[in-house]
Structures are given as structure tokens and as C-alpha cells.
Amino acid sequence: QSVLTQPPSVSAAPGQKVTISCSGSTSNIGNNYVSWYQQFPGTAPKLLIYDNNKRPSGIPDRFSGSKSGSSATLGITGLQTGDEADYYCGAWDSSLSVVVFGGGTKLTVL
Amino acid sequence: QVQLQGSGPGLVKPSETLSLTCNVSGGSMSSHYWSWIRQPPGQGLEWIGYVFYSGSTVYSPSLRSRVTISVDTSKNQFSLRLNSVTAADTAVYYCASLSTGDMSFDYWGQGTLVTVSS
């Protein structure tokens, strides 16, 4: 059981937009920064979004992050088949003094 | 740009100690927290803990009694030791750099699959 809650899977057609939610509490998302990671099978996760909504160099602006209260959302526009991957949210939890992750969301581009 | 290269045995016997090392290049050891994360086959990510260049550590409460993370700044590397392993510790172990500001993992090693089996 993950501290952060994500939907197990989402799907959308190429060219469309999809959002992935990440729900937490005041001890993690509510009062700390959220980050998002993309992971392809057999490879290490890659940072997509940090500081709630900032993109590292090289990450296309098709990827966006937002936060409201104790929830965060990853948005992906102009979906491509190459976006099919697992996506994880993460945050520091001030009460547990740990980094917590969501359980991951598998994105399928139909 | 920081690069991380993890290494260590891929097979550990039950009740023994898992030991992994991560070599850091392209960055200063004082710039980040240095962290270990694991991922059991087919499952999600689990944070293990981090070490700062000073040697101070923070561990996940669920593993604190069995884990040690250490740093050797002279060699630009940090290490993980997990003792009394069981099959439940079988996972891909990633080393990663953890931003001291927003606590995001900005660089990752390639991952090492460690299987616990006799």
C-alpha cells in the first residue's frame, strides 16, 4: 500500500491529452514539493517534473505538473506511442521523515 | 552532469549481507544527498535512505534496523549494506542523487538486480 495514491492505469489515443493524478496528505504533497518520474521497462526511472511544475533540461513542454492542496497532477499533451511507460509521483513526507512514492501508473497510448 | 554507476553482486544468500557501491562522476559530493531506492520485480519504487557528504544519514523506518548507507568522498562513491536478507529483499537496487532543495531524484544509476536465493 503506497502512501501516495495513483490510478493503476490510464490510456488515450495518439495526439490526445492525458492526466495522471497523485493523491496524498498534508504531511507530504500538501506541504512539500512533488516530483514525477517516467520509467520504461528494464530501465531506471527518469525525472520528468520537479518542484511541482518544473521541467529538467531536455524534457519537452508536452509534460506538465501541477499541485492543488494535497493532490498533484501530471499532464501529457500530444501523446505519442513513445510515451507508453510507467509514471510515478514522489514527495518528502514530513511526518514519516521518508521519501514516499505513488504505486505507479501505466500509460497506454492506444 | 552527474553520472552514477552502481555495482555489486547479483546473488546473495538468505541471512547474509547485501553490499552495493555507487560511483559518482561529473559532480561534487557535497551537491546532493546520495540515495538508494529499490524496486521488487513487477512492483513500485521503495526509498531506502540517503547519506550526505558529511556522513549523516536518514533511513526508511521499515529498513532502519538492517541498513547502513555510507559515503567515501575521497573515492567519489557511496555504499549500501543491507543485512539479514530474505527473498523479500530481491529487487533492482538503484542509486540516485537526491536534490537537497525539493527532494527530487535528478540522476539515477542503471540499477542492479539483486536476487536473494540459496
What is the Cα–Cα distance from B64 to B7, expressed in whole angstroms?
22
Query: For the segment B25-75, what is each residue's pLDDT rounded down to a tens digit?
Result: 998 888 899 999 999 999 999 999 999 999 999 999 999 999 999 999 999
Distance in Å, alpha carbon of B71 to nearest chain A alpha carbon? 19
A101 chain-B contacts, CB cut-off 8 A: 44-47
Closest CA to B45 of B118, B104, B117, B115: B104
> What residues of chain B have any CB closer than 8 angstroms to a CB in chain A?
35, 44-47, 58, 60-61, 94, 98-99, 101-111
- Answer whether residue A2 shows pLDDT above 90: no
* Chain A, chain B: beta-carbon pairs less than 8 Å apart: 64
Closest CA to B99 of A70, A65, A33, A74: A33
Q: What pLDDT, on the 0 to 100 scale, is given for residue B68? A: 98
> What residues of chain A have any CB closer than 8 angstroms to a CB in chain B?
2, 32-33, 35, 37, 43-47, 50-51, 56, 88, 90-92, 96-104
Confidence band, pLDDT 50/70/90 cuts, at residue B1: confident
What is the Cα–Cα distance from A9 to A56, expressed in whole angstroms?
25
Query: For the segment A21-44, what is each residue's pLDDT rounded down to a tens digit?
Result: 999 999 999 999 999 999 999 999
Contact A38, A56 (CB under 8 A): no
The C-alpha cell of A27 is what? 504531511
Q: Do A50 and B108 touch (CB under 8 A)?
A: no
Q: Share the mean pLDDT of chain B.
A: 96
A102 chain-B contacts, CB cut-off 8 A: 44
Which of A51, A56, A88 has its CB closest to that of B45? A88
What is the Cα–Cα distance from A5 to B5, expressed in whole angstroms?
31
Buried-state track A11-23, b at ≥16 Cβ within 10 A, e below 16: ebeeeeebebbbb
Q: Do A99 and B98 touch (CB under 8 A)?
A: yes
Contact B33, B101 (CB under 8 A): no
What is the Cα–Cα distance from B104 to A49, expressed in whole angstroms?
9
Strand partners, B26: none
State phi, psi for A74 to the nearest 5 degrees.
-105, 130
Which of A32, A101, A103 has its CB closest to that of B47? A101
